[in-house]
């Protein structure tokens, strides 16, 4: 009996389940969405990136659990192109989002605020974890958005916040993706327990309704 319990515990600790997490990268043109994606996937910064919108995958083992990152590196439409709004397909697909701006370009910070508003209008607040990323930290001597402003926006919108340089370091970028996975897992756990509570409330209500009818 004791042996059985031990092997069950070992199986749980080894957790063979693979967790899939869909991450959508948003933000204005040229802020470094592809650079962050490529840095995370390959550890490299290659300098120039094509204009292809794609979904990439990478599997990592975090705390003994296999995590499959699916990353949608979106394209921001430039002036004269089609609408730059986030599509319903993107909103439905994403388990978590990374909103990127270039700390040296204030207009890209404005785009993040607009995109946040669009997300909040289309989904229930706090239903999707979001991390705001100020990129190009290596150029911070030219910064036009202070760290304080970024942090305040993140606080007011219940988002995570990081300042990174896709050009300079892999570690900071890794932290962003791993933090988002933690938030997605927390959100899923909350949803699951809420569903459990709703189920109990429904059963109790049904019992009382039956008793009243008798």
Binding site for ligand GTP (CB under 6 A): 27, 29-35, 47-49, 51, 75-76, 135-136, 138-139, 165-167
- DSSP-assigned letters across all residues of 181-211: HHHHHHHHHHHHHHHHHHHHHHHHHHHHHHH
| Minimum distance from residue 130 beta carbon to ligand GTP (Å) | 17
Distance in Å, CB of 3 to ligand GTP, minimum: 53
Q: Report, in Å, the least distance between residue 166 CB and ligand GTP.
A: 4
Establish how many alpha carbons lie within 13 A of residue 147's alpha carbon, considering only the half-sphere containing its beta carbon: 7
Nearer to ligand GTP, 51 or 148 (CB): 51
How far, in Å, are 15, 90, 111, 175 from residue 105 at the CA level?
44, 25, 10, 23
CB 111 within 8 A of CB 101: yes
Question: 10 Å Cβ neighbour count for 193?
Answer: 10
Token pair belonging to 186? 């927390």
By C-beta, is 67 or 164 nearer to ligand GTP? 164
**Rounded CA separation 58/56 (Å):** 7
Cβ proximity to ligand GTP, 37 vs 157, nearer residue? 37
Q: Of 5 and 48, which CB lies nearer to ligand GTP in the complex structure?
A: 48
Whose Cβ is closer to ligand GTP: residue 30's or residue 187's?
30
Sign of CA pseudo-dihedral 86, 130, 177, 183: negative
Residue whose CB is less far from ligand GTP, 75 or 187: 75
DSSP for 69-136, please give it. EEEEE--PPPTTSS--SPPHHHHHH-SEEEEEEETT-HHHHHHHHHHHHHHHHHS-TTSS-EEEEEE-
Residue 48 CB, shortest distance to ligand GTP, in Å, is: 6
Name the residue number minimizing CB distance to ligand GTP: 32
CB of 151 to ligand GTP, least distance (A): 19
Taking the complex as a whole, the smallest distance from the CB of residue 150 to ligand GTP amounts, in Å, to: 15
How many angstroms from the chain centroid is the CA of residue 93? Answer: 11
């Amino acid at each position: 009996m004791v042996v059985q319990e031990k092997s069950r515990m070992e199986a749980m600790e080894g957790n063979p389940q693979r967790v899939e997490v869909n991450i959508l990268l948003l933000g204005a043109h040229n802020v470094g969405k592809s650079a962050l994606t490529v840095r995370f996937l390959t550890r490299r910064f290659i300098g120039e990136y094509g204009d292809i919108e794609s979904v990439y995958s990478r599997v990592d083992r975090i705390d003994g659990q296999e995590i499959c990152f699916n990353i949608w590196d979106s394209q921001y439409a430039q002036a004269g192109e089609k609408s730059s709004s986030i599509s319903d397909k993107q909103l439905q697909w994403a388990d978590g989002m990374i909103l990127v701006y270039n700390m040296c370009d204030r207009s890209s910070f404005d785009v993040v605020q607009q995109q946040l508003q669009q997300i909040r209008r289309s989904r229930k607040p706090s239903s999707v974890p979001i991390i705001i990323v100020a990129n190009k930290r290596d150029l911070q001597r030219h910064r036009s958005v202070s760290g304080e402003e970024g942090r305040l926006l993140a606080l007011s919108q219940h988002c995570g916040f990081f300042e990174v340089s896709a050009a300079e370091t892999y570690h900071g970028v890794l932290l962003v993706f791993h933090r988002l996975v933690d938030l997605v897992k927390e959100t899923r756990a909350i949803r699951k327990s809420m569903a459990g509570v709703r189920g109990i409330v429904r059963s109790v209500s049904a019992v009382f309704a039956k008793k009243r009818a008798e």
